[in-house]
Amino acid sequence: MGTRIGYAAGAFDMFHVGHLNLLRHAKENCDLLIAGVVSDEMLRVSKGIETVIPTAERVEIVRAIGFVDDVHVETVPSKLDTWREVGFTHFFKGDDWRGTEKGRMLEREFATVGVEVVYFPYTAHTSSTRLRTALDVINGVASPAEMAVLT
């Protein structure tokens, strides 16, 4: 069996324990862990969101984590194109993707090149979306529907 090269991607904006859990679980399941930090531009294009922490600072934060061996900045929308750039054998994702159409599509695409998709428990009580909403509440710009998400 060869070296297991793991890849765990995310915005890693407003870094929180859910991000840490994903990276920790990923490292426990591979020999070399590469963390993919999605660039500001890609987040704008793919999710329509503006980051709180700029790409360079998010890279610095993720690189400082002891169990991350390397960091790759994602500048292309396709995870298959990212695989061509990085060459990982295992792709790690939160299990909130398991069984979804996006998750099934990712599994199909990666199966064609021999990459295994591995899911880890999603840390539901903490997410960047919830943190953004909490900040909007604090700043008085959240709608009642957005505030209901926090309860």
- Quick check: is 144 in a domain? no
- Quick check: is 132 in a domain? no
89-107: average pLDDT: 94
CATH of the domain at 90: 3.40.50.620
Residue-level pLDDT at 141: 65
In tens, the pLDDT along 26-77 reads: 999 999 999 999 999 999 999 898 898 999 999 999 999 999 999 999 999 9
> Which tokens hold the place of 139?
């700043």
Helix (H, G, I), strand (E, B) or coil at 98: coil
- Quick check: is 98 in a domain? yes
- Quick check: is 131 in a domain? no
Long-range contacts of 100-108 (CB under 8 A, 24+ apart): 106/79
Residue-level pLDDT at 16: 87
- Quick check: is 111 in a domain? yes
Q: Which residues constitute the domain of residue 13?
A: 5-123
Mean pLDDT (the chain, rounded): 87
Q: How many domains does the chain have?
A: 1
> Which tokens hold the place of 95?
């299990």
Question: Could you give the residue ranges of the DSSP H alpha helices within 48-143?
Answer: 55-63, 79-86, 101-111, 128-138
Q: How far apart are CA 79 and CA 147, in angstroms?
A: 33
Residue-level pLDDT at 130: 60
Q: Is residue 142 over pLDDT 60?
A: no
